[in-house]
Structure 1
Amino acid sequence: MNNPRPIHPDFQALLDFKDQGLIGLFTDLRQYILELHPDSNELLYHTHALTAVFSISDKLSDAFCMLPIYSNHLNLGFNKGTLLKDPHKLLTGTGNLIRHIDVKETSDYRNPKVEALILEAIDFAIKDMDKATKSIARTISKIKT
């Protein structure tokens, strides 16, 4: 992608407090997701983790993946991970729907198996969406400043 989408200032202000290694992984993984689906909307939250959620609409319920950044680690989460095919057993977690991949280095996500999983999650979200959206390729901050 030649013209990457900038990180929202609300998010960047909080991201800057994280470890440089985590910031680098987050930035690269975020870019990777946006390359795979440039029309994604990015919903930004700061709750128990600083989180970027990627959705096919402006609604959290239409999200296909998320990047929560905790104090010392980062995950690639799948909002409806239990409903995805996972032939390589990449996903971990015990929730009713959400599953994730631990991210410690770029090889944890820049590989054909994870790419296929992300693309499947996007396809699933599109098919599962209630109604079409007019909101595309936007960054929407839900962070209270």
Structure 2
Amino acid sequence: MKKSENEGVQNFLEEIKLVDADKSNMLIEIRDIILNTFPKTKEKVMYGGLVFFLNDEMFSGLFLNKKHVTLEFSTGYLMEDPKKALEGKGKYRRHLKILTTEDILNKEVSFFVRQAV
């Protein structure tokens, strides 16, 4: 896990390990994909999860739920989604529900993250 420069984010990451280790590991793996794809990303704790910014524009968020991790995309409605993996019917946002570590690969998280900016 890449240590965050933001103390609030680092505390959040450490606390979620105590709450649910499995979902925490999924969230951290997805976070690493985002940070490796966009190295200049800034992250903050907001809305009960982690949100990601590039050039002061929020483009994604990660949230822990009881049964899954949600990866949200601010402009998900613009994304290519040939397998119809994205969920949501809002005007702009779309999300992926990640239930297992295998979903990170099966739902092609990297493919969607690359489209997020």
Tell me the TM-score normalised to structure 1 length. 0.66
Distance 1:103 1:56, change over 3 A: same
Q: Cα distance, 1:110 vs. partner?
A: 3.0
Which one of the candidate residues 83, 96, 106 is aligned to 2:91?
A: 96
Instruction: Give, as a single letter, the amino acid of the residue that structure 2 aligns with 1:20.
Output: A
Deviations 1:59-101 (A, max 9, x none): xxx2222111123321111111112222221101122211111
Aligned length: 114
**Higher Rg of the two aligned structures:** 1
- The match for 2:76 is 81
Higher helix share: 2
Identity of aligned residues (%): 26
User: Unmatched 5+ residue regions in structure 2?
Assistant: none
CA contact 1:43–1:54 (8 Å) conserved in 2 = yes
CA 1:13/1:24 → structure 2, altered by over 3 Å: closer, same or farther?
Answer: closer
Which consecutive residues of structure 1, in runs of 5 or more, have no partner in the other structure? 123-145
Contact 2:51–2:60 (CA under 8 A) maintained in structure 1? yes
Structure 1 counterpart SS, 2:29 = helix
RMSD over equivalenced CA pairs, Å? 2.4
TM-score by length of 2: 0.79
8 Å CA contact retained: 2:51, 2:62: yes
Q: Tell me if structure 2 keeps the 8 A contact 1:18–1:71.
A: no
Q: Helix, strand or coil for the counterpart of 1:86?
A: coil
